[in-house]
């Protein structure tokens, strides 16, 4: 038997990628150390995706510039003298911005915000989170207190529902599939019912994380039931819970969207009638596509009060789009 000796992988700070991204930051981040930002980007993007890492670094720097150009300032901070938790930011000489921002960790950077940019950018940060970080990093005493709070017991570790904002570069990219549960699934006493619900909705993946069992992206009815159940699991001011504002706004928006789709959906009998009215018989994969996308397309035609047969046969007034 031959023993193969492999050298240990170098620390992330010793890699060429780290040095290159560090140079890319340069002096563009006078408050937050460049090393902190580079480590964050390298955690977000896999090492084999170097072009994506460069784009992510540039995107983060653009948001950092927005903090300066928008003159974002801290307007409200966590209670009880804490530095980790919910914040509110605002522009100078303007009203409070309508977004909720939560900072959970300073290094590594971990937070959540319900602004549209955070929900879509797959960076794990937005200009509001960066504004909070700049506030802490610009004051060494506050920074040391935040780091101590992060590693101490003064604030209990977050538990409950969380959403991973980093979309994988492969796969379907369903945001609902990235919802997970922090903490134990089981509970006693008055929280026993919630523990049972967590066990029903979540499973442990290969890393031991409690992830959603099935997000049902192709079944609006089942997906709506899941969203409704997750909304009931969101914290309501309980101690030991830090809210995830991004997840809350995503769930509320998805519930509204799915309710509309389910309301407009045709029954199996109506679909069968529509299929019979076609001039040509559809292949199985075509029928599957129609059944999947019909609720949305049919809803646009519904105000015309045309029958499914009339619309399918190309009757006057029906859409000519294929």
Whether the pLDDT of residue 270 is over 90: the answer is no
Q: What percent of the chain lies above the pLDDT cut of 90?
A: 57
Q: List beta partners, residue 112.
A: 102
Taking only the tens place, the pLDDT of each residue in 159-171 is 789 999 999 998 8
Which range is least confidently modeled, 17-31, 37-51, 189-203, 229-243?
229-243
161/148 Cα distance (integer angstroms): 24
Whether the pLDDT of residue 5 is over 50: the answer is no
Q: pTM higher than 0.75, yes or no? A: yes
What is the reported pLDDT for 153? 61
Q: List beta partners, residue 139.
A: none
How sure is the predictor about 236, in pLDDT bands with cuts at 50, 70 and 90? low
Tokens of 307: 């029958």
Query: Residues 59, 123: contact at Cβ < 8 Å?
Result: yes
293/150 Cα distance (integer angstroms): 46
Tokens of 138: 């610009």
What mean pLDDT comes out for the span 177-206?
81
Q: What percent of the chain lies above the pLDDT cut of 70?
A: 81
Which range is least confidently modeled, 6-10, 11-15, 130-134, 212-216?
6-10
Long-range contacts of 252-258 (CB under 8 A, 24+ apart): 254/176, 254/223, 254/227, 255/224, 255/227, 255/228, 255/231, 258/220, 258/223, 258/224, 258/227
What mean pLDDT comes out for the span 63-81?
92
């Amino acid at each position: 038997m031959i023993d193969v000796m492999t050298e240990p992988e170098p620390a992330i700070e010793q890699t060429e990628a780290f040095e290159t991204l560090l140079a890319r930051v340069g002096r563009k981040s006078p408050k937050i150390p460049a090393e902190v930002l580079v480590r964050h980007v390298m955690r977000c993007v896999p090492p084999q995706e170097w072009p994506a890492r460069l784009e992510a670094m540039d995107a983060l720097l653009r948001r950092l510039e927005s903090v300066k150009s928008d003159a974002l300032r801290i307007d409200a901070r966590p209670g009880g003298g804490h530095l980790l938790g919910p914040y509110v930011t605002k522009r100078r000489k303007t009203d409070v911005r309508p977004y909720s921002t939560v900072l959970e960790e300073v290094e590594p950077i971990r937070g959540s915000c319900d602004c549209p940019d955070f929900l879509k950018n797959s960076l794990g940060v937005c200009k509001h989170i960066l504004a909070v970080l700049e506030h802490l990093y610009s004051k060494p005493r506050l920074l040391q207190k935040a780091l101590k709070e992060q590693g101490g017991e003064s604030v209990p570790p977050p538990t409950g529902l969380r959403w991973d904002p980093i979309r994988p570069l492969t796969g379907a990219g369903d945001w609902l599939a990235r919802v997970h549960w922090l903490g134990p699934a089981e509970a006693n006493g008055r929280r026993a019912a919630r523990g049972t619900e967590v066990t029903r909705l979540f499973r442990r993946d290969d890393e031991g994380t409690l992830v959603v069992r099935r997000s049902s992206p192709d079944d609006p009815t089942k997906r709506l039931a899941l969203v409704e159940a997750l909304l009931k699991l969101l914290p309501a001011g309980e101690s030991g819970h830090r809210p995830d504002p991004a997840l809350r706004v995503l769930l509320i928006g998805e519930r509204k969207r799915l309710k509309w789709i389910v309301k407009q959906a045709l029954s199996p009998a109506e679909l069968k009638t529509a299929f019979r009215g076609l001039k040509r018989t559809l292949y199985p994969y075509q029928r599957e596509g129609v059944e999947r996308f019909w609720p949305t397309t049919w809803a646009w035609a519904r105000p015309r009060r045309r029958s499914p047969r009339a619309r399918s046969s190309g009757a006057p007034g029906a859409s000519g789009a294929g």
